[in-house]
A and B are shown apart, each in its own frame.
Chain A
């Protein structure tokens, strides 16, 4: 029971944070899809299904938060690189601010020492 509750809670938490993670991974650099997945995969527990990242990238592109460029590769076919647009950078800043605000708020309610 406790485990099911925790699993559900982490799934919900991850869904929201993953979008922030994708934008944050692209901050100041351009990456191709596989690279984004691998970088996010280094954060423990964030990416359970790697494929989840691609619909997020597609949606961000449709919403004008990221743009893509095809770059020739020596190791195979041309790779599609993603980078943030101006709107994407603005959205990332807003999301980070919101994230910090929630994190600080939770910490102030329940300092980690008390847990």
Chain B
């Protein structure tokens, strides 16, 4: 067991933190493994050094190891790490801006800035994500732009936590809001878009309504809603069959597209949706003869 002077130990700890920060978020490497390798390297290099090992001796070994930021090529950085690194300076600038505020606001801002600086990198990213989300709500016309920036910061933080094998813990209350809002919007858009074209199916000239009503066996007043509902059910069931087949083939996709809850969608869920949608489609097809008669009426246009 190598003994270090307190200064040497602090210097080594800072360096190892720098190693972890520099290599985390890179898709091609394992940060835990690299940190362990660097620890082993330092131990081996100092095996015959005089103990307790001094700051100068440790600094010499670490200098030969070089700056960790230069160890991994940018091309191996994950997109979330890249975006996180880009957003960090924005957060730092915001903190610096607070310093220019007058009087009490300045004092309050200073306290906030000091707290922010005292946070670990992960917490800073989480606060940036939530801060952007909150700013978006205050400056509502700009909400979409802030929401997107906040979403990327939140995903960067979650990706970092995952790469390090850490639990998000209380940080999730800061990063989940933008992720949930974006995921819900995306999910709804993906899930129910066939309703939009189906809604137009009921638009037909008045002159055709009577013929259409007779063809499909409903009253004249009910023609439009029946056509819309029938088209919507057919389109939705067909679309949900496609979606469930995609999830069955790529089970990790919901988790990637709709964090943080998308990962809870499992193959068994997709199978249930597939069976339900297929059943609805079969029932829909049993009425298709009437639909075809209706189509014949529309073809007279």
Contact residues of A with B, CB < 8 Å?
15, 32-34, 37, 48-52, 54-55, 57-59, 61-62, 75-77, 79-80
Contact = CB atoms under 8 A, between A and B. Distances in A.
The 10 closest A-B pairs by CB, nearest first: A49-B66, A34-B44, A51-B65, A58-B29, A54-B37, A59-B28, A33-B37, A55-B72, A55-B29, A54-B34
Contact of B19 (A51, A61, A75): A51
Interface string B67-83: 11011110010000000
Contacts of A51: 19, 38, 41, 65-66, 68, 71
Q: Is the interface of A mostly helix, strand, loop or mixed?
A: helix
B40 A33 contact: yes
A55 B45 CA distance: 19
Contacts, number: 74
Contacts of B66: 48-52
B100 to A, nearest CB: 39
Using C-beta atoms within 8 Å of the partner chain, give the interface range for chain B: 20 to 34
Contact of B71 (A33, A54, A76, A80): A54
B64 A50 contact: yes
B36 interface: yes
A77 B43 contact: yes
A79 B68 CA distance: 22
Contacts of B40: 32-34, 77, 79-80
B43 A54 contact: no
B30 A34 contact: no
11 contacts: A34-B45, A50-B41, A54-B41, A55-B29, A55-B72, A58-B23, A58-B28, A58-B33, A75-B47, A77-B40, A79-B44
Contacts of B38: 51, 54
Interface in B8-23: 19, 23
A95 B64 CA distance: 28
A58 B41 contact: no
Contacts of A32: 40, 44
A24 to B, nearest CB: 19
A61 B68 CA distance: 19
Contact of A62 (B28, B37, B47): B28
B23 A55 contact: yes
Nearest to B41: A34
Contacts of B37: 33, 54, 57-58, 80
Contact of B65 (A49, A57, A77): A49
A49 B67 contact: yes
A101 to B, nearest CB: 24
A70 to B, nearest CB: 11
Contacts of B1: 76
Contacts of A52: 66, 70-71
Contacts of A80: 36-37, 40
Nearest to A57: B37
A49 B44 contact: no
B19 A62 contact: no
B41 A49 contact: no
A55 B71 contact: yes
Interface in B51-105: 64-68, 70-73, 76
Contacts of A61: 30, 33
A59 B34 CA distance: 10
Interface string B269-297: 00000000000000000000000000000
Contacts of A79: 40, 44
A49 B1 CA distance: 26
Nearest to A34: B44
A21 to B, nearest CB: 15
A75 B38 CA distance: 17
Interface string B23-35: 1001011100110
Contacts of A59: 28-29, 76
